[in-house]
């Protein structure tokens, strides 16, 4: 992870590029969207992007990356699910999910640590899912005036198995990502 490296100007540029790159990756992941007829919450690959961000960047950089994603969306960049953007998304029924991304990514990075093994990475990714669900389902319940059971049925239950698979996929892909980051951050001769 980059948080264990001393930053030279070129590493600072790499770090900034990774923060922005993972923000854009989250926006790209949002475009892979499967709407479900019974809920306003679509299936996307955003949770995969949030988990990968946490597994590959430091807690601070993970937080900043996802905060950058939110800033881009709030500013109108069409990076949210369905290719939309703008401040209205942050009062809609899925706002809680979006707003949880910075904290979830940072928490995953904190749990994964700098040299996490695959199983630890998987469990770190899984541990970030409740953060997303608590904020997302909580906001969904408030915005649609649902009780906890209804909110879980619409905003949690349909996604749990898929999100666990995303955590497994992220943990598997993260090793290659870590090797690539080490290669990019190696001092040039």
| H or E element, residue 134 | helix 118-144
pLDDT at 180 (0 to 100): 74
E-only strand ranges, the chain = 33-34, 43-44
Q: Match domain 2-185 to its CATH number in 1.10.150.120, 1.10.3720.10, 1.10.1760.20, 3.40.640.10.
A: 1.10.1760.20
How many residues are given for the chain? 189
CB-based contacts of 10, cutoff 8 Å, min separation 6: 188
Whether 57 and 114 have beta carbons less than 8 Å apart is answered as: no
Tens-digit pLDDT profile for residues 108-137:
999 998 777 889 999 999 999 999 999 999
> Partners of 43 in the beta sheet?
34
Give the per-residue pLDDT at 117.
Answer: 86
The answer to whether 166 and 47 have CB atoms below 8 angstroms apart is yes
Alpha carbon separation from 118 to 44, 49, 74, 114, 149 (Å, rounded): 24, 17, 34, 12, 34
As a whole number of angstroms, the distance between CA 121 and CA 103 comes to 17
* pLDDT tens, residue order, the chain (189 aa): 444 445 456 668 889 999 999 999 999 999 999 999 999 999 999 999 999 999 999 999 999 999 999 999 999 999 999 999 999 999 999 999 999 999 999 999 999 987 778 899 999 999 999 999 999 999 999 999 999 999 999 999 999 999 999 999 999 999 877 777 767 665 554
Q: How far apart are CA 70 and CA 100, in angstroms?
A: 10
Tokens of 126: 């899984």
Q: Is the full-model pTM beyond 0.75?
A: yes
* Domain extents in the chain: 2-185
């Amino acid at each position: 992870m980059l948080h264990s490296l001393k930053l030279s100007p070129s590493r600072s540029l790499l770090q900034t590029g990774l923060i922005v790159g993972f923000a854009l990756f989250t926006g790209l992941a949002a475009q892979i969207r499967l709407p479900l007829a019974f809920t306003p919450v679509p299936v996307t690959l955003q949770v995969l992007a949030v988990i990968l961000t946490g597994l590959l960047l430091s807690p601070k950089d993970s937080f900043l990356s996802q905060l950058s994603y939110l800033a881009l969306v709030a500013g109108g960049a069409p990076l949210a699910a369905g290719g939309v953007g703008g401040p209205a998304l942050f009062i809609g029924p899925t706002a809680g999910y979006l707003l949880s991304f910075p904290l979830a990514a940072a928490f995953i990075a904190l749990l994964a640590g700098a040299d996490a093994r695959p199983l630890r990475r998987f469990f770190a990714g899984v541990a970030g899912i409740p953060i997303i669900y608590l904020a997302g389902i909580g906001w969904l319940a408030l915005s649609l005036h649902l009780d906890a059971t209804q909110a879980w049925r619409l905003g949690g239950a349909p996604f749990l198995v898929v999100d666990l698979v995303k955590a497994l996929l992220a943990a598997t892909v993260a090793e290659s990502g870590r090797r690539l980051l080490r290669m990019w951050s190696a001092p040039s001769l």
